[in-house]
Structure 1
Amino acid sequence: MTYWDPIPTVRALVGRPHPLWRGDLEHDWSEPAPDGGWEGRDWRNVPGPFYTANTDNCCTGRQYAPRLVTYEDEELREFVFRQPVGAVEVQELVCAAECDPFAGYGGDGDLHWTPELVRDWWRERGGVQEWARRMGRSEWMLSDREHLRDAAVGARAYFTHLSQGLEAYLRDYMFWLAEGRPATSGDRLPVLDA
């Protein structure tokens, strides 16, 4: 796996018809989240360029980006549990951001994450693992409300991503942060458990 920078794809969408959204995309989702910004981001967001701060609680994010977004359990606010790794996933995430009336999505994470901060997040991942495990098995699974059942599915997907794929992504992302370019086959990737 080599890190793919999603920011140029986000910026290329601005001012053009969005393939999944009605009309032209006017907001540049590579900018800071306007309400809360980096400092207000949800602790469950995985490291990467995209995150959420103060989103709404209408449960629309998973309608457009179910592979990338799920909801927290206090107020059903959205957060990014998996970073996009291709143009279609960027389109999905931008669509989820467009549907959020609070505009609580941000895409300036690269300006804030450092390899050491990524390592710190990884060392503390037990909290998000426990949260995702608990929510994936919660009473939401048996709820008669579809969005709660879907939130439980999202929590289970997050739990799986934590043990299958996220470590490789984060090592590539750390290289990107340190070197400003994707790793090549001859490059040595940083370790997370340093």
Structure 2
Amino acid sequence: MVAGKEVELYEFIILAQLMYGPAHGYLIAKIINDMIGPYARLSYGRLYPLMAKMEQNGLIAAESKAPGGQKGDRQMRVYTITDAGRIRFHHLMSDTTSSPGDYQKLFTYKTCYFAFITPVERLRLIDHYINYCQAHVFHQQTEAEDLVRQVAEVEELAREAPQLAHGFPRLDANSVEYIVSTMQHTIDQWQFELDWARSLREREAANATRAGAEAASQR
């Protein structure tokens, strides 16, 4: 069975994909695996029980159809989203609090389905993600600065009062270099995410300005 946070992630992708229109289960499985791959995989044995539960909860509906449209052909289940499923999709789309540790990955999935929410909703999600990225950049910068400061303080203590420094772990210069380099790499990654999120916001603002100008010209 699919458990925990994965349930909401897969449920979200299933509902989001069905917002485009009806789809066979095998196509939904392929799309999910294309998105979460190349090493993570969702098997049919995990997908179909989840979709059965979603159908039971009224989020999706299924209809058996023959691929060629002829009687006697092997029946395939075609899934569609229900009104309750659309409500659930919008709830999951707007949720920014359920999976804070995995939100970077989740946000990238959400951007694929921005067409199904309003410009105001898109800006809200983007602004939240900008703050999310800024918080990670600030946290890593602070941690790196604190590490360098603490290493310097321990070294100074070891020189001036060796008997007091005995209980403090000492890092050699090589270890400090590796740790700080890794922290800087993480900072650079989050800064890249931040720049991307800001570019999304600029695009949304430009689209809103263009739409406003077009509406004004038609009055």
Q: TM-score range by the shorter chain?
A: 0.3 to 0.5
Q: Which has the larger radius of gyration?
A: 2
The TM-score normalised by the length of structure 1 is 0.34
